[in-house]
Copies of this chain bind each other. A is one copy, B any other.
Amino acid sequence: MTNKIDSYDHVLLAAIQDDARLSQSELGERANLSTAAVNRRLKQLAKDGVIERYTANINPKSLGYGLTIVAEVKAESERADLLDEMREGFRACRQIQQCYYVTGDCDFVLIFLVQDMDQYVELTRRLFHGNNNVKAFKTLVVMDRVKAGMHVPVDKSGERS
């Protein structure tokens, strides 16, 4: 089922990751494939889960989300059910754009997108102070989103970078 991803696919993936609205004929030119081949490959890549979704990136500021915050959360207990509960609480929070469960000094790294500090404080009350399994949390205020995106490195040659 899951076919090997060849160098044609690499070109296609790099291209649509950069601009998902390139036409299949345009993609065909870049990859030296016919539109029919492009069409078939894109479909297969989506079916195999290599392409997870097509999405539009929205400028957070334009919707009032002018503040990005990184938070590190340390759990009291590592009990699976309690961790799962935290995980789901974070997942359900719309202002938490990203959530990573990590090893190291803390257990979760969260990236918040909020309108202002008041909104963040309110969220910490609910998510952190309101959860007995949160032992401590640390707040890092983002001054510059130097690089933000979900881009995956794609080598057109299929080689390791």
Contacts and interface: CB of A to CB of B under 8 A. Distances in A.
Interface string A123-142: 00000000000000011111
Nearest to A55: B20
A71 B103 CA distance: 12
Contacts of A100: 68, 70, 111, 140, 142, 144-146, 148
B113 A152 contact: yes
B56 A102 contact: no
Copies of this chain present in the complex amount to: 2
A19 interface: yes
B152 A150 contact: no
A33 interface: no
Residue with the greatest number of chain B CB neighbours at <10 A, chosen from A103, A113, A140: A140
A148 B19 contact: no
A101 B146 contact: yes
Contacts of A101: 142-146
B103 A5 contact: no
Nearest to A13: B58
A143 B80 CA distance: 14
Question: Considering the complex of A and B, which 5 residue pairs feature the smallest CB-CB distances, nearest first?
Answer: A101-B144, A104-B140, A99-B146, A20-B54, A99-B147
